[in-house]
Amino acid sequence: MSDYRERKALIGRGAVVWTRTAGAGPQRVLPDGCTDLIWSGTGPDGELIVAGPDTRAHLASGPPGTRAVGLRFAPGTGPAVLGVPAHELRDLRVPLAALWPDAEVRRLAERIAERTAERNTGRAAERIAGRESAPGRVLEEAALDRLRTAEPPDPVLATIVAGASRGTGVAGIAAAVGLGERQLHRRSLAAFGYGAKTLGRVLRLNRALDLARTGVRFAEVAATAGYADQAHLAREVRTLTGVPLSRLLRAPGG
């Protein structure tokens, strides 16, 4: 069985640092409107990759016991750190070296290796408390460095996310931020990887899953999360995750 943990990140509201140890078989990673900067423990020195925003579930695989640490950005934050519009990474996993200069990626990998070695020998015990991951701290530091010199975030993003989270339609969100629907679509593609309508579907899915994991009946989940009925919930879950809701909840970590 895979092991997964996460904590709040230091780079802003909604961001998390997560750690996963692979179990037997692939793990289903669900769409969440986010991009991730990931260190994977494959190979002698590890690997740095970027996971773009997904429109469907992604099956992550690796040898059992392989460790990965990721920094998941809140919706709309990733492009400022990664330096590319989110839609260019949609449904993709790409090496970080495809986006950043080779020298910068090499320095980041070296810092992760050094911190990991320090932790393993116990010299960093005072700086890295409890079960904190050395790669996670280094990824946060790299993201903070980039954010200091990045362009200010698009001021409409928070309103778009809030509207999509509430289930507001595209026309309502466009009116709230003072944009035409085409302008809203372009800004949403750059920030989230897809339009406000798809973002709303993804956020509604995650809201429904949070309810279902607590044992709420599916009919009540559908009504509370904003679906027309339980059949609508079932169709959306299967479309976005590839499996029925009941099977999704039975899966390890579901």
Per-residue pLDDT tens digits for 145-193:
999 999 888 899 999 999 999 999 999 999 999 999 999 999 999 999 9
The answer to whether residue 203 scores a pLDDT higher than 60 is yes
Reported pTM: 0.89
Per-residue pLDDT tens digits for 52-77:
999 999 988 778 888 899 999 999 99
Q: How far apart are CA 229 and CA 223, in angstroms?
A: 6
Say which residue, 225 or 64, is predicted with more confidence.
Answer: 225
Q: How far apart are CA 234 and CA 110, in angstroms?
A: 46
